[in-house]
Amino acid sequence: MEDKVLSPEKAEEAKLKARYPHLGQKPGGSDFLRKRLQKGQKYFDSGDYNMAKAKMKNKQLPTAAPDKTEVTGDHIPTPQDLPQRKPSLVASKLAG
Amino acid sequence: VARAGGDGGGNNEVQWCFLQVKGAIDEDVAEADIISTVEFNYTGDLLATGDKGGRVVIFQREQETKSRPLCRGEYNVYSTFQSHEPEFDYLKSLEIEEKINKIRWLPQQNAAHFLLSTNDKTIKLWKISERDKRAEGYNLKDEDGRLREPFRVTELRVPTLKPMDLMVEASPRRTFANAHTYHINSISVNSDYATYLSADDLRINLWHLEVTNRSFNIVDIKPANMEELTEVITAAEFHPHHCNVFVYSSSKGTIRLCDMRSAALCDQHSKFFEEPEDPSSRSFFSEIISSISDVKFSHSGRYMMTRDYLSVKVWDLNMENKPVETYQVHEYLRSKLCSLYENDCIFDKFECCWNGSDSTIMTGSYNNFFRTFERGSRRDATLEASRESSKPRAVLKPRKVCTSGKRKKDEITVDSLDFNKKILHTAWHPMENIIAVAATNNLYLFQEKVN
């Protein structure tokens, strides 16, 4: 007879798989790790950007979907995708 | 069940009193103010913090004086400086954060203090020195600094040193750059006081403190084909006494001990520490929660402690197949792993630390809770860093999380925990019972209650 009692961890796993059926089998595998290694990567090519703008003339360039964190495929990075210049550094409040 | 005897300390459990809190009170926390590292120096007289804005603040313990006997052991600002600035690597299109990942002090060898601070890519050696005298009576320039007319110099005089208000200056003495392709997670000063290691996700480098244009790669776990990548380095530390030994932990919950005498490239470990896992209990989360976020040798050098998502483990260096002690930090989170994965909290990197005698260990949790575990008696405590219990010398009341059934008065349910209030960084004074707890943008200091 099968043991029907699930450990809390396995119950949580079932919950996750129900919400995200396409989630990969190996979370600790290369996709997850490679994303970790890619932290900080930003893309912008002024040549691509200006040529695309010229081609589209007055139309809007396709922008990335809001939930996309990586820039790939049809989306040509715009200056809006670049990290904004950080505000001037001030003294730490711990020293105040 | 309490064990008889045990390591160090008396039989009475340590009671903690509020000492001080540093930082702004307002609810809106600027990201730059988030504390990212806390470290006492070797004597405990200095306490350094680093933040996401790349700034370092150093506090110094006030000496007890007859005129201020109640201000025993207060820490006040000694020096503050901008250690790292945000950078953009144009060649790789990589944004480099200025966040200080780690600070490590060098043992003091002269009047000045030295520390290493690192962000994701660059390590810097800072010299912090005091100046309390200045020279007066120069021959070629007057007191304002203006050059004197040469024909007005009719006689020579010897400049004298006069006292001045104490000035603490921080100056960068070395910059160790361009040695890490991936993000630096650890630095560790060697017991030879001449070398140190820096570790990123895939490599560990050995540096000499005097040499910035060269470093030796001692561990490289990058696979030839990145598709085969299965684990990354999460932390590394030198042994406190054996200058040839270091350990590094991985995202798969393993620790490797390496001996630099055995080979120039320490890809082959000397010891491999891993607790066997019950294959039937394996889940989607198993590997993620087994990832070790911190590894620390005991002061004695006989043990090491690792922190994974739900527990802290103490390992005897002579036993590789399992830890000698396991302490549950917040086991009640095991039934919340799904939502903790969705909000990314499952990837939070908690640190851990030993007290000076290695009898007690401490680590942080959520809701601004932190936990202490007494190894001998197996007593554990859950305490909270909050403004509410921040009255001078107020004794911290132990907190309790209600895990099942009816919530008793003063208990807090798991669902009421604030997962944005994480205590990731804590530090314990090397000799006394004084602890520093970083709660987002505030630094709390607690000391042992004295009767």
Say if residues B63 and B73 touch (Cβ distance below 8 Å): no
Give B288-349 as a 3 state SS string.
Answer: HHHCCCEEEECCCCCEEEEECCCEEEEEECCCCCCCCEEEECCHHHHHHHHHHHHCCHHHCC
- Res. B425: pLDDT tops 80: yes
Nearest-by-Cβ selection for A86 from B86, B230, B443: B86
Domains and CATH numbers, chain B: 16-448 (2.130.10.10)
B373 closest CA partner among B9, B40, B47? B9
pLDDT computed for residue A30 by the predictor: 64
pLDDT computed for residue A28 by the predictor: 53
A8 to chain B, any CB pair closer than 8 A? The answer is yes
**Phi, psi (deg, nearest 5) at residue B287:** -70, -40
pLDDT computed for residue B3 by the predictor: 34
pLDDT computed for residue B8 by the predictor: 42
pLDDT computed for residue B417 by the predictor: 96
Q: Give the CA angle between residues B352, B356, B359 to the nearest 5°.
A: 75
Among B4-8, B95-99, B225-229, the minimum mean pLDDT is found in B4-8
CA distance B335 to B364: 19
CA distance B384 to B365: 10
pLDDT computed for residue A2 by the predictor: 47
* E-assigned strand segments in B137-180: 160-176
Highest mean pLDDT among A13-27, A78-92, B377-391: B377-391
pLDDT computed for residue A53 by the predictor: 80
What are the angstrom distances between the C-alpha of B324 and each of B301, B306, B377? 15, 12, 15
A5 to chain B, any CB pair closer than 8 A? The answer is no
Mean pLDDT of B57-78: 82
Among A28-37, B38-47, B372-381, the minimum mean pLDDT is found in A28-37
pLDDT computed for residue B26 by the predictor: 79
pLDDT computed for residue B40 by the predictor: 98
Query: Residues of A with CB below 8 A from B93's CB?
Result: 41-44
B283 closest CA partner among B330, B362, B338? B338
CA distance B246 to A16: 38
Q: What is the pLDDT of residues B227-272, one digit of tens each?
A: 889 999 999 999 999 999 999 999 999 999 999 999 888 889 999 9
- Res. A67: pLDDT tops 90: no
B93: left (phi over 0), alpha (psi -120 to 50) or beta: left
Mean pLDDT of B119-137: 95
pLDDT computed for residue B257 by the predictor: 98
Whether residues A83 and B341 touch (CB distance < 8 A) is answered with no
Please, what sign has the CA dihedral across residues A64, A65, A68, A73? negative
Q: Which of the two residues, B123 and A65, has the higher pLDDT score? A: B123
Mean pLDDT of A25-38: 70
Helix (H) or strand (E) holding B250: strand B245-250
Q: Which of the two residues, B149 and B46, has the higher pLDDT score? A: B46
CA distance B304 to B238: 11
Say if residues B326 and B316 touch (Cβ distance below 8 Å): no
Chain A closest-CA separation from residue B302 CA (Å): 31
Q: Which of the two residues, B353 and B394, has the higher pLDDT score? A: B353
Mean pLDDT of B371-376: 97
pLDDT computed for residue B70 by the predictor: 58
Q: What is the pLDDT of residues B294-353, one digit of tens each?
A: 999 999 999 999 999 999 999 999 999 999 999 999 999 999 999 999 999 999 999 999
Query: Residues of B with CB below 8 A from A27's CB?
Result: 284-285, 287-288
Cα dihedral: B277, B323, B293, B104 (round 10)? -160
As given in the structure block, the two tokens for residue B94 are 């990589």
Interface of A with B in 23-52 (CB under 8 A): 23, 27-30, 33-34, 36-37, 39-44
Residue B79 amino acid letter: S
Among A51-60, B41-50, B354-363, the minimum mean pLDDT is found in A51-60
What are the angstrom distances between the C-alpha of A49 and each of A64, A82, B87? 14, 12, 23
- Res. B1: pLDDT tops 50: no
Q: Please state the pTM of the whole predicted model.
A: 0.89
- Res. B9: pLDDT tops 90: no
pLDDT computed for residue A1 by the predictor: 47
Cα dihedral: B415, B419, B420, B425 (round 10)? 150
Decide: helix, strand or coil at residue A50. Answer: helix
Q: Following DSSP, what letter does each residue of B403-418 receive, concatenated?
A: -SSSPPTTEEEGGG--
Mean pLDDT of B166-172: 96
* Chain B CA closest to residue A41: B94
Mean pLDDT of B100-113: 97
Q: Please state the ipTM of this predicted complex.
A: 0.74
- Res. B2: pLDDT tops 50: no
Mean pLDDT of B98-103: 98
Nearest-by-Cβ selection for A13 from B120, B230, B285: B285
Mean pLDDT of B61-68: 76
B301: left (phi over 0), alpha (psi -120 to 50) or beta: left
Residues of chain B with pLDDT > 90: what percent? 80
Nearest-by-Cβ selection for B281 from A7, A11, A44: A7
Domain extent listing, chain A: 7-39
CA distance B366 to B370: 8
CA distance B377 to B1: 8
Chain B closest-CA separation from residue A28 CA (Å): 6
The DSSP letter of residue A37 is H
Query: Residues of A with CB below 8 A from B86's CB?
Result: 86
B229 to chain A, any CB pair closer than 8 A? The answer is yes
What are the angstrom distances between the C-alpha of B318 and each of B6, B164, B238, B301, B323? 20, 55, 17, 11, 10
Nearest-by-Cβ selection for B288 from A28, A89, A96: A28
Residue B269 amino acid letter: H
Residue A95 amino acid letter: A
pLDDT computed for residue A4 by the predictor: 57
As given in the structure block, the two tokens for residue B218 are 């001692």
Among A64-73, B72-81, B129-138, B286-295, the minimum mean pLDDT is found in A64-73
Averaged confidence pLDDT in chain B:
93
- Res. B119: pLDDT tops 70: yes
Residue B58 amino acid letter: I
The DSSP letter of residue B31 is G
Chain B closest-CA separation from residue A31 CA (Å): 8
Query: Residues of A with CB below 8 A from B82's CB?
Result: 89
Mean pLDDT of B25-51: 94
